[in-house]
Amino acid sequence: MQGVVAVYAALMMASSLCSVCGNVLLLLLLLLDRGLQTETWLLTASVSACDLALGLSALPLAAHTSLFQPAGYASAGAWCQGSAFLFLLLRLVSVHSLTWATIDKFAEICFALSYASTFTAGRTRVILAGVWLYALLNAALPLLGFGSYGYSSGSFLCAPSFEPASTAFNMLFMVVGIIVPILTMCSMYGYIVHVARKQVRRGTFVCNENHCFYVPASNYFRSSIVMVTTIVCLLICWLPYITICFYETLTGRESPQVACALATWLVLFTTALNPWITSMTQT
């Protein structure tokens, strides 16, 4: 078991380093390059800021706890409750901001004529405020008695407790907070791939005032590969965590420590993947 703990800690520290480097670089590019500051760039900045915060908090905390404090923290303590609140808040904001960034990309591709009047800077700020408000209220519910936070000996983190007594909160958090956004992103990326395949069969020309240029099929193929890779990464990283949530909530049994550790690491590893996914799906 000590070997598993050491591997878990090493994965968390490596993921933390990748997350911090990738998100700092992306935020610097967004802040310094005016050309990247579109009407909806705040959605991407929100994802990156949340992932950076998780890379500086939850990831190194999990590594430290697994190596030096195997007994964990008192679940009822302020430190455990506060870190679990921050974990859930940042995860929800990151997932929902990424979902809205995907909706933005979907609208830009599939509804090009009405896109400029639909996603304005003002509406983007309203959407972002709504995402943060939703995440804040959801993360505060366990502190108010609806659901609970506790220390997980499998993940070495304080997080939402997947116990039968918190079934209503766990279903709300998992279905509305995680499953619906992920299915939305996968559906939209899948439809974009479908559109790309149709365009390859039809052939596409891009014109300016002087010339028209044929768009090679390889361009659509590369875009499709990126979209499919994004779907696969989302499902691989989130399905184990979702499965454990439903298993523990509905059966009242604890998952094996290795499975819980792997699922938690995959979920937190998305903080390192998101900057590269964002970069690849942008023009």
Q: In this predicted model, what pLDDT tens digit does every residue of 130-169 receive, in sequence order?
A: 999 999 999 999 999 898 998 888 888 888 999 888 899 9
Closest CA to 98 of 206, 182, 33, 214: 182
Q: Specify the pLDDT at position 14.
A: 94
Closest CA to 51 of 264, 274, 230: 274
Mean pLDDT, the chain, rounded, equals 84
- Minimum mean pLDDT range among 118-132, 158-172, 220-234: 220-234
- The residues, ordered by sequence, that sit 6+ positions from 188 with a Cβ below 8 Å of its Cβ are 102, 103, 105, 106
Q: Is 191 inside a domain boundary? A: no
pLDDT bin (cut points 50, 70, 90) of residue 209 is low
In DSSP terms, 44 is beta-bridged to none
Where is pLDDT greater, at 174 or 195?
174
Residue 67 lies in domain: 2-167+238-281
Which residue's entry shows tokens 């009047």?
117
Q: What is the C-alpha to C-alpha distance for residues 54 and 266, in angstroms, rounded to an integer?
A: 13
Q: Which token pair is 152?
A: 């997980």
Q: Specify the pLDDT at position 210.
A: 60
| Side-chain half-sphere CA neighbours of 235 within 13 A | 11
Q: Which token pair is 180?
A: 């619906």
Q: Is 210 inside a domain boundary? A: no
pLDDT bin (cut points 50, 70, 90) of residue 110 is confident
Residue type, 196: A
| pLDDT, average across residues 96-122 | 83
Q: Is 27 inside a domain boundary? A: yes
In the chain the first and final C-alpha atoms are separated, in Å, by 46
pLDDT at position 217 over 80: no
> DSSP state, 172?
I
- For the question of whether the overall pTM of this predicted structure is more than 0.85, the answer is yes
Kindly report the CATH number assigned to the domain that includes residue 94. Answer: 1.20.1070.10
SS3 assignment, position 204: strand
Q: What is the C-alpha to C-alpha distance for residues 191 and 109, in angstroms, rounded to an integer?
A: 11
Closest CA to 227 of 185, 168, 169, 167: 185
Q: Specify the pLDDT at position 40.
A: 83
Number of domains the chain contains: 1
Q: Is 233 inside a domain boundary? A: no
Rg (CA), the chain: 20
pLDDT at position 231 over 90: no
pLDDT digits (tens, 9 = 90+) for 29-69: 888 888 778 888 899 899 999 999 999 998 999 888 888 87
| pLDDT, average across residues 221-244 | 81
Q: Specify the pLDDT at position 200.
A: 59
Number of Cβ within a 10 Å radius of residue 71: 8
Q: Is 185 inside a domain boundary? A: no
Q: Specify the pLDDT at position 276.
A: 84
Q: Is 44 inside a domain boundary? A: yes
Where is pLDDT greater, at 97 or 68?
97
pLDDT digits (tens, 9 = 90+) for 16-26: 999 999 999 99
